[in-house]
Structure 1
Amino acid sequence: MTLKDSAAREAYLKTLLDTVDEAYKAARTEVQEALDAAARETGTRQISVALPNGVEIAKVSLTSGTAETKVVDEEAFKAWVMKHFASEIERQFVATVRPAFAKKVLTELTAAGGTEWADPETGVIHDVPGVASRPARARGHRMTFAETGRDAVMAAWRTGQLAGVALPELTGEPIRCSRCQGEDGPDALCDACARPVP
């Protein structure tokens, strides 16, 4: 393969990759919105995924987001520690809060879900400045493929079963499978692509 051929192949694949990536992100957003709605309305947190011919290929499960308290104003947090816990300040060229103390306070604030921290030695409750609870990971979902799920998807793509479902923009119009040639009929379904056949 020449350099020109290799570069052309890279260009083709990059174009397809970008198209697939954009479609994937849109589909993932759509699934997340539908899962969130299903969880609110019916309590559904998991669904099965199947090919058009009914072969189950994966499960999609709702995951919960997590929150984490972080320092958002270093100076305010440091001033609070200097005032109330001066021994936890490390003096270098600049004064900084000892990492172990910051980690301890932030971990306890995360667990408490707020910005009030109780000094375990004195019992004094401090409203800690310069910190905020922010999502560390957004609520999402995960897809778990069946053992042969990915192979089944690739086979379905090669036979045209997914042409009208996944990325029809790559083909211009739906590809019909070689078994039924896409001839629609009223009675039976093609067992390869699940389309009506004469």
Structure 2
Amino acid sequence: MTAEQATAPAAGQPVESLRDLAIEEAALDLLAARVAAAKKDVRARTQAALDAAAKRDGVERVGAILPTGEQVATVSLRKGTVGPVVVDEEAFARWVAARWPEQRQEFTETRIVRTVKEWRAAELVAQMAALDLSIGPGQSTRAAMWADPDTGELVEIPGVLIKPTSARTHTLTWRKGGKDATAKAWRTGTLARQFAAITAGGEQ
């Protein structure tokens, strides 16, 4: 049986060549891999440029503009987040047990070392997160604080730090008609320079 016979459709339907399908899938597989690699690379370079522009000039968004002058999308900076992170469970558990001695069996548990039970740790971390989470210039972390509900005193919590919990990133928001305009620019060769690396020769 030939490749064409293997994919012969029912009567009345056009014949679709298996060889044509195979090369189309192979080409799209290569294209998808190269597009994924190119997108990862350009996102990293865009992020670095956005971070630099935000620090230097306060710029947090930039338009994606075709060589024709038409804006098709907007790239916007998304700042990273910071929050309390338990970095020393044993130290945190010792503080919880000392702060609530009558409830130490309820709030903590002893394995090889004493740890705070997950539900109580989540409650306390949420209370810490409700306070100021800023990190000063030149700092990567700082001590986490907890507000004592009885006295209002801010207490530094052992084993917990305020630190970045997600990296800075950015988003791309398409304008209405932007995708069609970009596809047309790609099809007519207007974006040939931007896509040159994807269609260049050589294994990647």
TM-score, length-scaled by structure 2: 0.70
User: Residue 12 in 1 paired to residue 41 in 2?
Assistant: no
Give secondary structure in 2 for the equivalent of 1:132.
Answer: strand
Report if the CA contact (8 A) 1:48-1:59 is conserved: yes
RMSD: 2.9
1:35-64 CA-to-partner distances (Å, cap 9, x unmatched) read: 222222222222211111112101112222
**Range with greater deviation from structure 2 (51-60 or 68-77):** 68-77
- The 2-side partners of 1:162 and 1:148 are apart by 17
**Range with greater deviation from structure 2 (55-64 or 109-118):** 109-118
- The 1-side partners of 2:56 and 2:34 are apart by 33
Within the candidate set 117, 123, 132, 1:112 is matched to 132
- The 1-side partners of 2:19 and 2:88 are apart by 53
Shift in alpha-carbon separation, 1:112–1:45, aligned structure 2, 3 A: closer
Report if the CA contact (8 A) 1:163-1:171 is conserved: no
**Range with greater deviation from structure 2 (104-113 or 44-53):** 104-113
Code of the residue aligned with 1:119 in structure 2: it is: D
User: Residue 69 in 1 paired to residue 84 in 2?
Assistant: yes
How far off its partner does 1:7 sit?
6.1
- For 1:151, the equivalent position in structure 2 comes to 180
- For 1:127, the equivalent position in structure 2 comes to 156
**Count of matched residue pairs:** 172
Shift in alpha-carbon separation, 1:84–1:22, aligned structure 2, 3 A: same
**Range with greater deviation from structure 2 (115-124 or 70-79):** 115-124
TM-score, length-scaled by structure 1: 0.72
User: Residue 164 in 1 paired to residue 193 in 2?
Assistant: yes
Report if the CA contact (8 A) 2:90-2:115 is conserved: no
How far off its partner does 1:5 sit?
6.7
Shift in alpha-carbon separation, 1:80–1:92, aligned structure 2, 3 A: closer
1:150-191 CA-to-partner distances (Å, cap 9, x unmatched) read: 1111111111211211x3133349xxxxxxxxxxxxxxxxxx
User: Residue 60 in 1 paired to residue 71 in 2?
Assistant: no
**Structure 1 gap ranges (5+):** 174-198
**Structure 2 gap ranges (5+):** 1-6, 8-16, 134-142
- The 2-side partners of 1:7 and 1:93 are apart by 60
How far off its partner does 1:126 sit?
3.4
Shift in alpha-carbon separation, 1:92–1:31, aligned structure 2, 3 A: closer
